[in-house]
Amino acid sequence: MERTLTDVRIQRNGVIAATGSEPVVVCETLTTTTTTAPEFIDITDEVQSIVAASGAKFGQVTIFSTHTTAAIKVNEHEPLLLQDMTRMLQKMAPVDAGYEHNDFTKRTVNMEEGECKNGHAHCQHLFLPTSETLPILDGQIPIGKWQRIFLIELDRARERRVLVNVVGVKA
Protein backbone atom coordinates (compact mmCIF):
# COMPACT_ATOMS: atom_id res chain seq x y z
CA MET A 1 0.00 0.00 0.00
CA GLU A 2 1.30 3.42 -0.92
CA ARG A 3 1.42 6.02 1.83
CA THR A 4 1.15 9.75 1.45
CA LEU A 5 2.30 12.52 3.73
CA THR A 6 -1.27 12.94 4.98
CA ASP A 7 -0.93 9.48 6.59
CA VAL A 8 1.89 10.74 8.83
CA ARG A 9 1.16 12.50 12.12
CA ILE A 10 3.71 15.06 13.29
CA GLN A 11 4.20 15.83 16.97
CA ARG A 12 5.84 19.15 17.70
CA ASN A 13 8.01 19.24 20.81
CA GLY A 14 8.09 23.02 21.00
CA VAL A 15 11.06 25.23 21.75
CA ILE A 16 13.96 23.14 22.93
CA ALA A 17 16.41 25.84 23.98
CA ALA A 18 16.08 29.45 24.96
CA THR A 19 18.33 32.15 23.57
CA GLY A 20 21.35 32.54 25.77
CA SER A 21 21.43 28.93 26.96
CA GLU A 22 24.89 27.85 28.08
CA PRO A 23 26.62 25.64 25.48
CA VAL A 24 27.97 22.22 26.45
CA VAL A 25 30.68 20.32 24.60
CA VAL A 26 32.04 17.17 26.24
CA CYS A 27 34.14 14.36 24.79
CA GLU A 28 34.74 11.20 26.82
CA THR A 29 36.48 7.96 25.87
CA LEU A 30 35.06 4.55 26.69
CA THR A 31 37.62 1.74 26.75
CA THR A 32 36.81 -1.96 26.81
CA THR A 33 38.50 -5.24 26.02
CA THR A 34 36.56 -7.45 23.65
CA THR A 35 36.62 -11.24 23.95
CA THR A 36 35.66 -12.62 20.53
CA ALA A 37 34.34 -11.65 17.09
CA PRO A 38 31.74 -10.86 16.15
CA GLU A 39 30.81 -9.54 19.57
CA PHE A 40 27.99 -7.13 20.42
CA ILE A 41 28.80 -5.02 23.49
CA ASP A 42 25.93 -2.96 24.90
CA ILE A 43 27.32 0.48 25.83
CA THR A 44 23.96 2.24 26.25
CA ASP A 45 24.19 2.79 30.00
CA GLU A 46 27.71 4.21 29.75
CA VAL A 47 26.66 6.63 26.99
CA GLN A 48 23.55 7.70 28.93
CA SER A 49 25.77 8.31 31.98
CA ILE A 50 28.11 10.57 29.98
CA VAL A 51 25.14 12.54 28.63
CA ALA A 52 23.71 12.96 32.15
CA ALA A 53 27.08 14.05 33.59
CA SER A 54 27.54 16.60 30.78
CA GLY A 55 24.54 18.59 31.97
CA ALA A 56 23.26 18.93 28.39
CA LYS A 57 19.50 19.40 28.35
CA PHE A 58 19.14 19.42 24.56
CA GLY A 59 21.53 18.60 21.73
CA GLN A 60 23.18 15.58 20.17
CA VAL A 61 25.52 12.81 21.20
CA THR A 62 27.80 11.11 18.70
CA ILE A 63 29.21 7.70 19.54
CA PHE A 64 32.29 7.01 17.38
CA SER A 65 34.48 3.91 17.04
CA THR A 66 38.14 4.80 16.50
CA HIS A 67 38.74 1.50 14.68
CA THR A 68 38.31 0.19 11.12
CA THR A 69 37.19 -3.23 12.39
CA ALA A 70 34.75 -2.21 15.15
CA ALA A 71 31.39 -0.59 14.47
CA ILE A 72 28.70 1.33 16.35
CA LYS A 73 25.04 0.47 15.80
CA VAL A 74 21.66 0.96 17.46
CA ASN A 75 19.62 -2.23 17.54
CA GLU A 76 17.74 -4.58 19.85
CA HIS A 77 19.54 -6.47 22.64
CA GLU A 78 17.85 -9.84 22.30
CA PRO A 79 20.12 -12.93 22.47
CA LEU A 80 18.60 -14.82 19.53
CA LEU A 81 18.66 -11.70 17.35
CA LEU A 82 22.32 -11.16 18.24
CA GLN A 83 22.99 -14.75 17.11
CA ASP A 84 21.14 -14.04 13.85
CA MET A 85 23.16 -10.86 13.25
CA THR A 86 26.41 -12.71 14.04
CA ARG A 87 25.53 -15.40 11.51
CA MET A 88 24.60 -12.75 8.91
CA LEU A 89 27.96 -10.98 9.33
CA GLN A 90 29.84 -14.27 9.02
CA LYS A 91 27.95 -15.15 5.82
CA MET A 92 28.51 -11.70 4.28
CA ALA A 93 32.28 -11.88 4.71
CA PRO A 94 33.48 -15.28 5.97
CA VAL A 95 36.77 -15.42 7.88
CA ASP A 96 38.16 -18.12 5.56
CA ALA A 97 37.36 -16.44 2.23
CA GLY A 98 40.28 -15.21 0.13
CA TYR A 99 41.14 -11.57 0.88
CA GLU A 100 43.98 -9.70 -0.84
CA HIS A 101 44.38 -7.76 2.41
CA ASN A 102 45.41 -11.03 4.09
CA ASP A 103 48.16 -11.85 1.57
CA PHE A 104 51.24 -10.49 3.32
CA THR A 105 53.45 -11.45 0.36
CA LYS A 106 51.64 -8.76 -1.68
CA ARG A 107 50.55 -6.22 0.92
CA THR A 108 53.13 -3.55 1.68
CA VAL A 109 51.26 -0.72 3.44
CA ASN A 110 49.56 -0.23 6.79
CA MET A 111 51.42 -3.16 8.32
CA GLU A 112 52.62 -3.53 11.89
CA GLU A 113 54.42 -6.15 13.96
CA GLY A 114 52.13 -9.13 14.60
CA GLU A 115 49.70 -8.14 11.83
CA CYS A 116 46.76 -10.54 11.67
CA LYS A 117 44.64 -11.62 8.73
CA ASN A 118 41.47 -9.58 9.15
CA GLY A 119 40.20 -8.79 5.67
CA HIS A 120 36.82 -10.26 6.65
CA ALA A 121 36.44 -7.73 9.48
CA HIS A 122 37.11 -4.77 7.17
CA CYS A 123 34.61 -6.13 4.62
CA GLN A 124 31.95 -6.67 7.31
CA HIS A 125 32.50 -3.10 8.50
CA LEU A 126 31.55 -1.80 5.04
CA PHE A 127 27.94 -2.59 5.97
CA LEU A 128 28.02 -1.05 9.45
CA PRO A 129 28.53 2.53 10.60
CA THR A 130 31.56 3.90 12.39
CA SER A 131 29.30 6.17 14.43
CA GLU A 132 25.74 6.95 15.48
CA THR A 133 24.42 10.42 16.28
CA LEU A 134 21.41 10.53 18.59
CA PRO A 135 19.30 13.40 19.94
CA ILE A 136 19.35 14.59 23.54
CA LEU A 137 15.94 15.73 24.82
CA ASP A 138 15.44 16.81 28.43
CA GLY A 139 18.88 15.45 29.33
CA GLN A 140 18.16 11.94 28.01
CA ILE A 141 18.76 9.99 24.83
CA PRO A 142 15.17 9.21 23.76
CA ILE A 143 15.81 5.73 22.39
CA GLY A 144 12.93 3.37 21.72
CA LYS A 145 11.81 0.65 24.10
CA TRP A 146 14.04 -2.05 22.62
CA GLN A 147 16.85 0.12 21.23
CA ARG A 148 20.36 -0.20 22.64
CA ILE A 149 23.71 1.21 21.52
CA PHE A 150 26.27 -1.44 20.55
CA LEU A 151 29.99 -1.52 19.97
CA ILE A 152 30.42 -4.39 17.51
CA GLU A 153 33.78 -6.16 17.47
CA LEU A 154 34.44 -7.61 14.01
CA ASP A 155 38.08 -8.69 14.25
CA ARG A 156 39.42 -10.37 17.41
CA ALA A 157 39.74 -9.95 21.17
CA ARG A 158 41.57 -6.69 21.93
CA GLU A 159 41.27 -3.31 23.60
CA ARG A 160 38.83 -0.92 21.90
CA ARG A 161 38.10 2.79 22.29
CA VAL A 162 34.86 4.61 21.65
CA LEU A 163 34.58 8.41 21.69
CA VAL A 164 31.35 9.85 23.06
CA ASN A 165 30.92 13.48 22.01
CA VAL A 166 28.10 15.54 23.54
CA VAL A 167 27.18 18.87 21.94
CA GLY A 168 24.23 20.74 23.33
CA VAL A 169 22.93 23.38 25.70
CA LYS A 170 22.02 23.56 29.35
CA ALA A 171 18.49 24.80 29.91
pLDDT, tens only, 133-143: 999 999 999 99
Phi, psi at 80, each rounded to 5°: -70, -35
Alpha carbon separation from 36 to 40, 56, 143 (Å, rounded): 9, 35, 27
- pLDDT confidence of residue 8: 55
In the predicted model, is pLDDT for residue 5 greater than 90?
A: no
- How far is it, in rounded angstroms, from Cα 118 to Cα 69? 8
In the predicted model, is pLDDT for residue 7 greater than 60?
A: no
Residue 92: inside a domain: yes
Provide the whole-model pTM. Answer: 0.89
Residue 2: inside a domain: no
Residues of the chain with pLDDT > 70, as a percent, come to 88
CATH of the domain at 59: 2.60.120.460
Residue 160: inside a domain: yes
Structural domains counted in the chain: 1
Residue 15: inside a domain: no
In the predicted model, is pLDDT for residue 165 greater than 50?
A: yes
Q: Which of 3-12, 81-90, 110-119, 135-144 has the lowest mean pLDDT?
A: 3-12
- pLDDT confidence of residue 64: 99
Residue 13: inside a domain: no
CA 45-77-41 angle, to 5 degrees, is: 60
- pLDDT confidence of residue 17: 47
Residue 9: inside a domain: no
User: Nearest to residue 15, comparing CAs of 60, 78, 58, 71?
Assistant: 58
Residue 34: inside a domain: yes
Residue 46: inside a domain: yes
- How far is it, in rounded angstroms, from Cα 25 to Cα 50? 11
Task: Provide the domain limits for residue 163.
Answer: 21-96+118-169
In the predicted model, is pLDDT for residue 128 greater than 70?
A: yes
- How far is it, in rounded angstroms, from Cα 31 to Cα 57? 25
